[in-house]
Chains A and B, each alone.
Chain A
Amino acid sequence: MKAFTYERAQTAAEAAAAAARNENAKFVAGGTNLLDLMKLEIETPAHLIDVNRLALDRVEATPEGGLRIGALVRNTDLAADERVRRDYAVLSRALVAGASPQLRNQATTAGNLLQRTRCPYFYDTNMPCNKRKPGSGCSAIGGFTRHHAILGTSEACIATHPSDMAVAMRALDASVETVRGDGSKRVIPIADFHRLPGNTPHVESALERGELITAVTLPKPVGGRHFYHKVRDRASYAFALVSVAAIVQPDGSGRVALGGVAHKPWRVEAAEPEMPRGSKAVAAGLLANARTTEDNAFKLPLAERTLASLLAEAKA
């Protein structure tokens, strides 16, 4: 690990200002992804700003009837929150489908959104990777791509976003609240928060330098039955090959988002009116323009069939 200096932030605005002043600074909260990457020297911050003591660790009701989830709420606590289990079950389900209990005890809401891809070529510092070293090339293209993206890819990157939580938040129309280095605040819809790789796969979110996530808000509950089906190589503690977050209403209408298939949680609102007609009808729009490789072409039928099993369960 490269040497770094360390400070403990007292307020969110102070943390953002400190990060904006120092382009080599990083925030650390749970640290479960950042420290792993620092040990491998994929992340080499010269300064760490510890945000763990900030008062952002509560889940509160909003005046609009939704929930405001503090950036530091641990994944375990969010999954166990009584209101989340009752009204946003897709989010609880997605959270407990991810990582291990130990990691969920440490990992935070904001950190989960900002975790980086598990593309093995991103992790292998001997290999070119446009995300790790912009302009160096993509080793995954033409490499072993069983886990890689099939939607929204570019010539520069075919990595996926690894989060389960973010997929549920996309289905729930969450918003990300931030504070910037100059103290100003803004709200970013989750749909605009994560970026597709394009020519700049190293730019993964809409956040500016120094900008700190303070909360994620959920609109008021939409009812319906909530599902998160995750298909992976092991029964537990593995990243998704494909995951499906869905909310299905009694009349068969609803919404659906996919994980494990793109550089961001994948949702196509225009495909959702097809929900009552079944998975094949939805998949036609949801998976349109997919670009697969020999290794990961299985993800197309897998996504459609996972949605089919989920819709069957919703009817039962």
Chain B
Amino acid sequence: MSDFNPTRRNFLQAGAATGGFIASGHVLPVGAAGPSQPTASPAAASPQYDVRLRVNGSEHHLILDPRTTLLDALRERLRLTGPKKGCDQGQCGACTVIVNGRRTTSCLTLAVMHDGDEVTTIEGLGTPRNLHPMQAAFVKHDGYQCGFCTCGQICSAVAMLDEVKAGIPSHVTADLTQAPQLTDEEIRERMSGNICRCGAYSNIHEAIVEVAGERR
């Protein structure tokens, strides 16, 4: 038997570590250039920029090509592979993370625009031994089939309940002057930015209803 065991996860992590090493070999020490000042990088035609992110409670200092989306920074540099690259156009919602308390499609924003921001990914919501209630509800209600959209669905659902609590209206809110109620129609409309190609919508819906019920 070979020692070579190219699981997808190991492969991604090795790539991320190599990328980090190459980039960090060519940058000036932190503080040598002010925030958002480009530093020369022989490895790339593009200048590199300092970016500080607080991700799932930990501080990270990254040196990035400004073209790096927040999604790519999370996946390729921080090895947080929960957020997925589905369409890479902000249409599918698989890359949804929570930035400063708000759900965001991380593929449609540059990491360099988020210097100092607080990011929560699925990895920061709960752990395998201590699931977030929304994660537990998705498991209980079988709110997925292939699982590709799931991390985005869960981050989106958690932030969606906060939006309702904050009184943010939706397209189906009947009376704009009243606090929105979390009806089935409201949940469907408010989750429309997350596509599930397996069509697990009814189970996703049940999971959200259960968590929302516990909160009421």
Contact assessment for A4 and B108 in the assembled complex, using a CB-CB cutoff below 8 Å: no
A316: interface (CB < 8 Å):
no
Given contacts A50-B113, A80-B167, contact A4 B193 (CB under 8 A): no
- Cβ–Cβ contact B109 & A35, under 8 A: yes
Q: How far is the CA of A235 from the CA of B112 in the complex (A)?
A: 35
In the complex, chain B residues whose CB is within 8 Å of the CB of A28: 110, 113
Contacts of B170 in A (CB 8 A): 96, 101
Does any Cβ of B come within 8 Å of A270's Cβ?
no
Give the distance in Å from the alpha carbon of A64 to the alpha carbon of B150 in the complex: 49
C-alpha spacing A100/B191, complex, angstroms: 8
The answer on a CB contact under 8 Å between B177 and A48 is no
Cross-chain contact B90 with A96 (CB below 8 angstroms): no
What band does the interface of chain B fall in when counting residues whose beta carbon is under 8 Å from A? 35 or more
Report the interface size class on chain A: 35 or more
Smallest CB separation, A77 vs chain B (Å): 8
Binds B, one of A86-94, A246-254, A286-294: A86-94
CB<8 Å pairs between A and B, sample of 15: A4-B66, A6-B47, A6-B49, A6-B66, A8-B115, A79-B168, A80-B167, A80-B169, A85-B169, A86-B177, A92-B169, A97-B171, A106-B104, A236-B188, A236-B189
Per-residue interface assignment for chain B, residues 72 to 111, with 1 indicating a CB less than 8 Å from any chain A CB and 0 otherwise: 0000000000000000111001001000001111001110
Asked, given contacts A50-B113, A80-B169, whether A89 binds B103 with beta carbons under 8 Å apart, the answer is no
**Chain A residues with CB below 8 A from B193, complex form:** 99-103, 237
A-B contact count (CB 8 A): 113
Interface status of B145 (Cβ within 8 A of chain A):
no
A136 at the interface (CB under 8 A from B): no
Which residues of B have CB within 8 Å of A31? Answer: 108-110, 113
**Quick one: given A5-B66, A102-B105, are A96 and B110 in contact (CB under 8 Å)?**
no
Enumerate chain B residues within 8 angstroms of A237, measured Cβ to Cβ: 192-193
Choose from B112, B156, B188 the contact partner of A6 (Cβ within 8 Å).
Answer: B112
A residues in contact with B66, CB < 8 Å: 4-6, 48
Q: Considering the chains assembled together, what is the distance between the CA atoms of A86 and B177 in angstroms?
A: 6
CB distance from B209 to the nearest CB of A (A): 18
Bound form: Cα–Cα A237–B89 in Å: 14
Q: Does A277 interact with chain B (Cβ within 8 Å)? A: no
A6 touches B36 (CB 8 A): yes
> Complex: how many Å from CA A235 to CA B186?
12
Cβ contact within 8 Å between A105 and B169: no
CB distance from A51 to the nearest CB of B (A): 10
Instruction: Select A105's contact among B67, B103, B167, beta carbons within 8 Å.
Output: B103
- Judged by a CB distance under 8 angstroms, whether B173 is at the interface is yes
B168-187 contacts to A, CB under 8 A, are 168-171, 173, 176-177
Closest partner residue, chain B, to A2 (CB atom): B67
Interface centre among A92, A93, A100, by most chain B C-beta atoms within 10 angstroms, is: A100
Q: Given the known inter-chain contacts A85-B177, A89-B176, A101-B193, please indicate yes or no for A52 contacting B113, CB distance below 8 A.
A: yes
